Amino acid sequence: MELLFLGTGAGSPSKTRNVSSLALKLLDERNEVWLFDCGEGTQHQILKTNIRPRKVTKIFITHLHGDHIFGLPGFLASRANQGGEEPLTIYGPAGIERFVRTSLQVTQTRLPYKLSFGLLETPGTVFEDATFKVSFAALSHRVPSFGYRVEEKPHLGELLIDKVRDAGIPNGPLYGRLKAGQTITLPDGRTFDGRDFIGPDQPGRTVVICGDTRATAATQALAQGATVLVHEATFGPDESQLARQYYHATNLQAAKIAKEAGVSRLLLNHISARYVGAAAQQLQKSAQRIFPRTHVVHDLETIDIPFAKEQ
């Protein structure tokens, strides 16, 4: 599981930061990529990566401001032109389906794949299957804006090799059957239940990705105990009044939320073009005084999301 940041800027593109989009790469887990927001130029950023558009099966939109959605029609068309035929679902606030379908209709763009929409209404679970659960909560912005919580289901525990060997079970295909929890019978007639040789389930990872928002208790609740929290930091440490006025957050407010929510790591994005070079580093350093595991991300940066025992 990896996060690849395609655009980390606020409002308008700059020479160093494109507008909002990030990819959650789940290639090992389910051979898919999920996009979160799709600002203008997202498909150009993707060209600089190893992401294949046809692998993108879900797009989660946080809110309907242009810097988060203007890249959608172009990406959908390019996905079609590059051979994408797999179905794709877009989740987002009311209005997202009208925006997309109108854009496709006006430009007479026809997609060879099924396009579905999941509209965000009552906060709660928006998607769930055997491997992942995605829920959402309302944040605080000038327009309806949401944060997503992506929870990986627990993994089957590790095979207890020493215990297997102590039982005199010969190495080979039988180990795989034990790992799968199956019952095996040896040539000497002894029978073993694979579940007796598997350790405790390994907790899955949790990633919380927030749209534009003021500092709000809703974010803290959504992010509780998360492995990674992705939060905006449009304003700096001395700009809390401006942040409130424009419905955004400061780096220090994000750090306080991360600390109180008990997350493992905080990734700051949606960085204003006013913060470049040393100024961006200062955003990180001042936030680290509150929450040491804070990092200001940059465009095309990949962040690996390890299991708890690997952190």
Give 16: exposed, middle or buried? Use CB within 10 Å, 0-12, 13-18, 19+: middle
Contacts of 222 (CB under 8 A, 6+ apart): 135, 137, 147, 149, 208, 210
Of how many residues is the chain composed? 311
Q: What angle do CA 68, 302, 268 make, to 5 degrees?
A: 55
List 231's β-bridge partners, or say none.
Answer: 268
55 within 8 A of 24, measured Cβ to Cβ: no
Contacts of 9 (CB under 8 A, 6+ apart): 16, 17, 18, 19, 20, 67, 270, 271, 272, 273, 299
23 within 8 A of 33, measured Cβ to Cβ: yes
Q: Are strands 32-36 and 21-26 parallel, antiparallel or unpaired?
A: antiparallel
Q: How far apart are CA 174 and CA 183, in angstroms?
A: 10
Tokens representing residue 6 in the block: 């395609």
6 within 8 A of 299, measured Cβ to Cβ: yes
Q: How far apart are CA 266 and CA 217, in angstroms?
A: 16
212 within 8 A of 289, measured Cβ to Cβ: no
C-alpha torsion sign, points 115, 116, 119, 120: negative
Annotated active-site residue in 28, 37, 67, 193: 67
Virtual torsion, Cα 55, 309, 208, 44, nearest 10 deg: -40
Q: Mark whether 299 is an active-site residue.
A: no
Report the catalytic residues: 67
